Structure 1
Amino acid sequence: MTAGLAARVERRTPAGRDRTVDALRAVSTAGVVAGHWLVSAVVSDPSDPSRLHGESPLSSAPYLAPASWLLQTLGPFFFAAGYAAMRSRGRTRARRLLRPVLAFAAVWVSAFAVLAAVGAPQSTRHVVGSLVTHPLWFLLAYLALSALTPVLRPLVARAGPWAAAPPLALVALTDALRGSDVPAWWVLVMVPVGWSVPYLLGMALAQGRLPRGAGLPLLAAGVTGGAALVLWFGYPASAVGVPGDRFSNLDPPSLFAMALASAQLGLYLLVRPWLAGVLRRPAAWAPVALLNLAAMTVFLWHQTALLLVTFAALPAGRPRGLLDPPDGTWPLARLLWLPAFAAALAALTAVFHRFEAIRREPLPGGRDDPQRVRQ
């Protein structure tokens, strides 16, 4: 990050912008991307390298569950989304979402047609489809909550952070019903209901109803509640779904997912004043601002980057950390592939970011003036 680029980003940033929320969104995006790259093992069949299937390193290495607590950052993401919903126009948010999604869909519909035409094995098409489409479920939750923002706004104005209590109670009820014959529609509905808890807290912060003093209670409740759920009530320790677990803490979001979000957001509120000071430095702020400008593009294409590197490595057999079973030292070997994934993602972002930008302007640092950094 050059000093000149950082200075240009600084000049284009509105004076009243809360940079700490942008940092929280950037950390959330990076956490989701890194988490998917580290747990999405694509394994090839030794007798038929074109036949791929998916596995999770968490299945054979449960001691890695604490890493999922750091990398499962959906609570902070929806918190930042709730904050932004209070300070931006719904039409602008929908436009920034729709264009990159349509571009992504156009590319992948064609790619799936090619895979079918060349006779790719069913298991290969299944794992590719799962990796590409499964992360997109959050878009539906985000759209639902965005559409409900006009209804939620007066509730938060009256109740402040306590507006999150009713959906939290529904999450607890759903957990109590796990294992029984819960209708599929209820599970689908509970995805946006569950993530409305941090979303409403973000709205409360935007309205000045969530003070820094709430940080310590949220952190303490999240840590103690999460520990109790795992140790005494049999909740899976992993913050993401693991084959073989009794259930997934994300399908739909469980009380453990809410406890994790509470701890993460409590920590954020505690460090927010210090973080605001750090982000006043142009060199610290510029990477946060640039990632936020391309956040949707990065999210949509990060698993495509993983697949591009994976398919490119097929002629090499089964390199350690890529295309081999995720056991033993696989997690350490996987770390060595992250720069390759990141390089592929950077190339994809350079190509497809134009669909996310509201105005057809380059990112800061080009010959023309950069677009303003938006909330």
Structure 2
Amino acid sequence: MRDLIRRIDAVTPAGRDRAVDALRALAVGGVVVGHWLVTALVLDSGTVRTASPLRSMPQLAPLSWVFQTLAVFFLVGGWTGARGYASARARGRTYGRWLGGRMARLSRPVAVVPVVWVLVAVVLLASGAGLETVRVLVKLVYSPLWFLLVFAALTAATPLAAKLHPLWPFAAVALVDLVRYGLGGPAWLGWINVAAGWLVPYCLGAAWGRGGLRGGATGWVLLLGGAAATAALIGWGGYPVAMVGVSGAAISNLAPPTLAAVTFGVAQCGAALLLAGPLRRVLRHPVAWAVVALVNLSAMTIFLWHQTAMIAVTALGLLADAPVPGLHTVPDSSGWVLARLAWLPAFLLALLVCVAAFGVHEHGRTVRGKRPTQELEVRRA
């Protein structure tokens, strides 16, 4: 283990901004743990359905502020996109070649997910599982993939995003919400915010990557301004407290993104800028950096397979004679929350198995005699 830690530290390029990798790792962790905590698979008369503890226990909604970290993903994506595109141009690479490389890295680990889950669905149906149960499980796995479609579109728009001021997409989101909620406009207008809403943190990340944002004053302005705006929108604007979707709720802050979700994301971006300096200091320690580096090497695999890991543990729990608390029971009490927390290590273990099985599709097959840590020599954040 010590040799691995030293090797990771040794092969890391000197100019790599380790804080950006740490922010990506934190964002991945937030999404994974958040999904594991707010998604319950309830066994109901032989059929599996999803339920959210946030619906029966709305007092837990503020916890979603900790685990809804999508804005940090897009912030880091804008940073890496802007710097990667600028570096490609400096080396004489065309936009097409640069984008093709980015899309290949993004799509390679995704391609195996539908293949595996088509086989899983067939096996489940053949073994007697109900069509509705299979539909629920497949939807649970596929639903987070919307993020990758939006991320790919924004990556393709990096040359534009690098020149676009974040206030423009922010104004578009505000206008859409004004028309939808204030003037009774059509609900479909909200889907404009899928692009405009996430373009705000992506543009902030691009500006950060170009050196246009600093962690001090700018970070505080974004954090405090975004937090104050979010509090006002929740307190007086009628927006939901939860920053994740809650089944049965009249308004979702994420599907599509609302102005409250965007202001909340702005606050997260400010916090990320403020954390960058302390993170750089912490990550000088080889052990801390090794953990972050290993998470980043499998970040896409973790994102793609974390729901499968939860489903696998839940399915194994069906071997018990009765519904298992925290796995198959209705999430309507603090007892369920405590039971679900106790299951998190099992979910993590199942996820590690998935990473071991499917991680090769993210970083490619290594040549015999070479180690995956060698990717750190060539793979940019």
TM-score (structure 2 length as normaliser): 0.90
Query: In the alignment, is residue 208 of structure 1 matched against residue 211 of structure 2?
Result: yes
Identity of aligned residues (%): 47
Moved more, 207-216 or 26-35: 207-216
Moved more, 336-345 or 167-176: 167-176
Task: Choose the corresponding residue for 1:173, options 172, 175, 184.
Answer: 175
Unaligned runs of 5+ in 2: 85-97
Q: Deviations over 1:345-367 (max 9, x none)?
A: 000100101111046259xx976
Q: Deviations over 1:47-93 (max 9, x none)?
A: 42xx1111000001111111100000000010001111123343332
Contact 1:96 1:358 in 2 (8 A): no
* Corresponding letter in the other structure for 1:339: P
Q: Counterpart of 2:338?
A: 332
Query: In the alignment, is residue 40 of structure 1 matched against residue 39 of structure 2?
Result: yes
* Distance in 1 (alpha carbons) for counterparts of 2:253 and 2:347: 27
Task: Choose the corresponding residue for 1:87, options 83, 88, 93.
Answer: 83
* Distance in 1 (alpha carbons) for counterparts of 2:192 and 2:367: 38
Give the direction of change, closer, same or farther, for the CA distance of 1:292–1:361 in structure 2 (3 Å limit).
Answer: farther
* Distance in 1 (alpha carbons) for counterparts of 2:143 and 2:288: 33
* Distance in 1 (alpha carbons) for counterparts of 2:222 and 2:105: 32
Unaligned runs of 5+ in 1: 157-162
* Distance in 1 (alpha carbons) for counterparts of 2:30 and 2:7: 27
Deviation of residue 258 (structure 1)?
Answer: 1.4
Give the direction of change, closer, same or farther, for the CA distance of 1:230–1:83 in structure 2 (3 Å limit).
Answer: same
Give the direction of change, closer, same or farther, for the CA distance of 1:368–1:288 in structure 2 (3 Å limit).
Answer: closer
* Distance in 1 (alpha carbons) for counterparts of 2:35 and 2:24: 17
Task: Choose the corresponding residue for 2:290, options 286, 290, 314.
Answer: 286
Alignment of 1:220-235 (within 5 A): 220-235=224-239
Moved over 3 A (4+): 116-119, 177-181, 186-189, 365-369
* Distance in 2 (alpha carbons) for counterparts of 1:291 and 1:36: 18
Query: In the alignment, is residue 123 of structure 1 matched against residue 127 of structure 2?
Result: no
Give the direction of change, closer, same or farther, for the CA distance of 1:87–1:361 in structure 2 (3 Å limit).
Answer: farther
Contact 2:8 2:373 in 1 (8 A): no
Contact 2:180 2:187 in 1 (8 A): no
Q: Counterpart of 1:160?
A: none
* Corresponding letter in the other structure for 2:64: S
* Corresponding letter in the other structure for 2:179: L
Task: Choose the corresponding residue for 1:101, options 103, 106, 110.
Answer: 110
Contact 1:55 1:326 in 2 (8 A): yes
* Distance in 1 (alpha carbons) for counterparts of 2:345 and 2:79: 32
Q: Deviations over 1:295-333 (max 9, x none)?
A: 000000000000000111112121111100001121111
User: How many residues were matched structurally?
Assistant: 361
